[in-house]
Structure 1
Amino acid sequence: MAHGFLDLIKQKFGEGHYDGDQYGGAAGRDGSGLPTGAPNNFMFATGIECSYPTIDQGRTRRDQLAECFHYERFKEDLALVKELGLKVLRYGLPYYSIHRGPGKYDWEFADAAMHEMKRLGITPILDLLHFGVPDWIGNFQNPELPVHFAEYAGAVARRYPWVRYYTPINEIYVTAKLSARDGVWNEQLKTSRGFVTCLKHCVAASIMANQQIAKHRPDCIIVQSESAEFVHQLCANPNDQYKLDNKLRFLALDLLYAHHPDADVLNFLYDNGLTRPEYEWFMAGEPPGYQIMGNDYYGRNEWIILPDGTRQTSMDVLGWYNITKEYYERYRKPVMHTETNVFDASEAPGWLWKQWVNILRMREDGVPVLGFTWYSLIDQVDWDIALGEKIGKVNACGLFDLDRNPRPVAEAYKMLLKEYGQITIVPHGELFEVTKQPATLKVEV
């Protein structure tokens, strides 16, 4: 009696679950189970909120590590990361207090925290500047910032040679906007020239810091966390300023990744203090290292401007997927969702799952998405007013409250991790992994 090949296979080897399937053949892995930290694993992360801008014309420092009691409870906080099953943590050392002057550093807290992270097997994405600078530098209008900050980045890379992932400067566009155009932090200016000055100094500082890191870690991976924003103006004749704003949101990454902006933006830059030699320097090429484009998305990143000029948050009209897809098509970089949360603890689990749907859809499009971050581990203070006044209102956006008790979103994240914790960076892309090969140095300075 004739048999087809499948009948013969079943007779010889059975109905399935063949030897070797456990290594990825046939059905392979479904991606479930807690993260393992393998090089091709998707990076699930959280972050510890570490902003430290000044307000009151420099008289008051808003240090979220202090206000959320991390300095006293850092071991407990890092243990919570481990307990959740997470392998990756966006972590910011307090630049303003470590860098005491040219060539002078206070490493006491940094050493203790980094030692504990290494002991627990947590991979830090080390955030070197988060919305503030040391008092002796002044603010972001200081043209010496790139030189001083590069020195600091090199010192960090030398001191912690086991660290590979860095965010040199967090949210450069937001730093410039709130410091020099909205007048909330640091220099508290409200001018276009101040905005351009702050932004160009930050991008230059990020590039030079990246250079110094690459000298010590040629295989460095740079996760450039940047806010994914959009303004919807509901007006029959849209205002030119809002049109420009929707172009300026790309400006930090344009300069960082040597992407020529359009004529409107270039004229804006030249009108507000960027020189032709400076522009040519930015356009010379990308910084060294493996560059990952991190996009932070909160529903409050999207704004609707009503016909009467009223401004309100849109909460997810386009969403992370649509906005980030626009950034991806512009820069063609591997992507990471580097920040998200909501201030209402009861809505947080639903928001987490909505963000995850966005991630899955991006993956289905074949975009290499390397990771996702719920930001932050612990509740924050006064972020509903962007730290503009020291009121002390707790924002219930953490996986844990300030007493380190879990919020509902912590359980939701645990469920997500158990279901998806071992998925690969690209679906079915077992060969796409973070290698240990050094990246090519692309910019000569």
Structure 2
Amino acid sequence: MTASPRASGDRGPGPRWFEDGALHFGLGIEDTFVPQERAGERALDEYALTEHYEHWHADLGLARDAGAELVRWGVPWYRLQPEPGRYAWSWLDGVIDRFVELGLRPVLDLMHYGTPLWLDGQFAHRDYPARVADYSVAVAERYGDRVTDYTPVNEPMIHALFSGEYAYWPPYLSGPAGLVSMCAQLTRGFQRAQAGIAEVLGDAATFVHVDAGMRFDGDAEHAATIGRLREQTWLVEDLATGRVDDGHPLAAFLAEHGVSDADLTAFRENAVRPDVVGVNYYPRHSTELLRAGESHSGGFADPRPTRDDGTAGLAELLREAAARYGAPVALTETCVTGTVDERLAWLDASVAALRDLRAEGLDVVAYTWWPLFDMYEWTWRTSTAPRVDHLLPMGLYALEERAHGLARTRTPLVGRFRHHARPAPAIEGRA
């Protein structure tokens, strides 16, 4: 199918939120879902771990109280569609109604790692692209009168690495061939989902593409690998937007591992475009180092050393995303894991960096602190330790174990975020 003009990113008449000249402030609620279990691996569902399923009504109120306008919020596909052809809408109906009640704009994260339990082979199943598109369209059909902003797949390159190259998550593929296979499958689903939503919503739809901002540096010994990894950071977005042809730096790598000329032609013919390009950046983790005499494949099992490049790394990634895709850009996730004072310092510094970029003329339209409240480290999945041992202090609100469950405790970050989120005058010439 050739992508419709809207699926390719053509804008309808009238400004949308990201065209009004303002810097919009958002929050995210950690929504990783890897529900499949096997020996030594527990189901990973951050909504269950953080008790968001029980506290969603109040949690969204906390986001509004903190001054957020946008909330990146994920749909748990495996719970919404417990079996093929059947959707359990009641819980999600209540969540969407709450967004409307509060006047919050949800940016729906439709695919945040986990497929339904009934989809054998997960992302490797030949029907995955059709299944994820059907689900995405069903969501748009039900909520399109209230929800217009969609992220078809969050961090597809992290998906591909964890499910492909590293064999950490289903379908547990490994090596370059596994990575390329997952990139191709995720791209097919990405394109079909966005095209389907666009057919339902037309010009009302806004597509926020989101991937992890990954940076690489190191010694001359690893120069070729560093060059490949830097290009690989953008690979799924390049495939989805039809940028990959014979001249692409990774064309030979893709061909070597099973992507045919016909595949690339299909990706170009079905290209979709972002209305906003989102970059996720964590200063203490987003810059990985490859050093002489050391070999690190990356990920949990063999992590590479990292370097904190602060706001310089953030600015570099946002500039590169804007230049590469010619669209407005957003910081769609950021924080530091640490003390309240460390988080406050990064909040101030990162907001200032975005304001500086806007003053330079870069079209930065949104800032998102992730997450609203603390979360639990993904290594919980392969651990037997209690959840408290995996707590990551990252949020505006702290999670604290109480006899009745998890409490959300306000920290000074709430007031500081609210201060930054107060409406500021539009930059001259951008309104």
Say whether the fold is shared (TM-score over 0.5): yes
TM-fit CA distance, 1:285: 5.5
Question: Structure 2: how far apart are the matches of 1:198 and 1:107?
Answer: 29
Residue in structure 2 matched with residue 315 of structure 1 by the alignment? 308
Change (3 A) 1:96 1:274: same
1:269 equivalenced with 2:269 (yes/no): no
Residue in structure 2 matched with residue 137 of structure 1 by the alignment? 119
TM-fit CA distance, 1:159: 0.8
TM-fit CA distance, 1:249: 0.9
Report the residue type matching 2:174 in the other structure.
K
Residue in structure 2 matched with residue 353 of structure 1 by the alignment? 348
Change (3 A) 1:356 1:274: same
TM-fit CA distance, 1:286: 3.3
1:279-303 deviation digits (Å, cap 9, x = unpaired):
1111226326x62100010120111
1:282 equivalenced with 2:267 (yes/no): yes
TM-fit CA distance, 1:315: 1.5
TM-fit CA distance, 1:245: 1.3
Residue in structure 2 matched with residue 163 of structure 1 by the alignment? 147
Q: 1:345–1:408: 8 Å Cα contact kept in structure 2?
A: no
Residue in structure 1 matched with residue 10 of structure 2 by the alignment? none
Aligned partner of 2:171 among 181, 187, 201 = 187
Residue in structure 2 matched with residue 373 of structure 1 by the alignment? 368
TM-fit CA distance, 1:54: 4.5
Question: Structure 2: how far apart are the matches of 1:108 and 1:166?
Answer: 20
TM-fit CA distance, 1:117: 1.1
TM-fit CA distance, 1:307: 2.5
Report the residue type matching 1:399 in the other structure.
L
SS at the partner of 2:173?
coil
Moved more, 370-379 or 258-267: 258-267
Aligned partner of 2:193 among 209, 214, 217 = 209
Residue in structure 1 matched with residue 411 of structure 2 by the alignment? 407
RMSD, matched Cα: 2.2
Residue in structure 2 matched with residue 48 of structure 1 by the alignment? 29
1:310-342 deviation digits (Å, cap 9, x = unpaired):
731111264110122122211111101000011
Question: Structure 2: how far apart are the matches of 1:117 and 1:98?
Answer: 18
TM-fit CA distance, 1:101: 3.1
SS at the partner of 1:218?
helix
Report how many aligned residue pairs link the two structures. Answer: 389
Residue in structure 2 matched with residue 9 of structure 1 by the alignment? none
Change (3 A) 1:60 1:423: farther
Question: Structure 2: how far apart are the matches of 1:330 and 1:263?
Answer: 13
Question: Structure 1: how far apart are the matches of 2:82 and 2:37?
Answer: 22
Question: Structure 2: how far apart are the matches of 1:181 and 1:258?
Answer: 23
- How do 1:31-180 residues align onto structure 2 when only pairs under 5 Å count? 39-54=20-35, 57=38, 60-138=42-120, 139-161=122-144, 162-180=146-164
TM-fit CA distance, 1:163: 0.7
Normalised to the residue count of structure 2, the TM-score between the two structures is 0.85
Change (3 A) 1:56 1:315: farther
TM-fit CA distance, 1:423: 4.2
SS at the partner of 1:60?
coil
Question: Structure 1: how far apart are the matches of 2:318 and 2:327?
Answer: 11
Report the residue type matching 1:314 in the other structure.
R
SS at the partner of 2:82?
strand
Question: Structure 2: how far apart are the matches of 1:62 and 1:335?
Answer: 30
TM-fit CA distance, 1:428: 1.6
- How do 1:21-32 residues align onto structure 2 when only pairs under 5 Å count? none
1:366-387 deviation digits (Å, cap 9, x = unpaired):
121110100111101014x485
Identity of aligned residues (%): 25
Change (3 A) 1:303 1:411: same
Moved more, 314-323 or 152-161: 314-323
Question: Structure 2: how far apart are the matches of 1:149 and 1:76?
Answer: 30
Residue in structure 2 matched with residue 343 of structure 1 by the alignment? 337
Normalised to the residue count of structure 1, the TM-score between the two structures is 0.82
Question: Structure 2: how far apart are the matches of 1:349 and 1:390?
Answer: 33
Question: Structure 2: how far apart are the matches of 1:120 and 1:257?
Answer: 34
Report the residue type matching 1:409 in the other structure.
L
Question: Structure 2: how far apart are the matches of 1:268 and 1:77?
Answer: 44
TM-fit CA distance, 1:134: 0.5
Question: Structure 1: how far apart are the matches of 2:374 and 2:234?
Answer: 29
Report the residue type matching 2:29 in the other structure.
I
Unpaired runs of 5+ residues, structure 1, are 1-35, 432-445
- How do 1:413-432 residues align onto structure 2 when only pairs under 5 Å count? 413-418=417-422, 421-424=423-426, 427-431=427-431
1:397 equivalenced with 2:399 (yes/no): no
Q: 1:57–1:187: 8 Å Cα contact kept in structure 2?
A: no
Residue in structure 1 matched with residue 207 of structure 2 by the alignment? 222
Report the residue type matching 2:287 in the other structure.
E
TM-fit CA distance, 1:187: 1.8
1:189-240 deviation digits (Å, cap 9, x = unpaired):
222111111111111111111111112211211001111111111x233353
Q: 2:42–2:382: 8 Å Cα contact kept in structure 1?
A: no
Larger Rg: 1
Unpaired runs of 5+ residues, structure 2, are 1-16, 296-303, 400-406
Change (3 A) 1:236 1:270: closer
TM-fit CA distance, 1:250: 1.3
Q: 2:278–2:329: 8 Å Cα contact kept in structure 1?
A: yes
TM-fit CA distance, 1:188: 2.4
Change (3 A) 1:276 1:319: same
Moved more, 386-395 or 244-253: 386-395
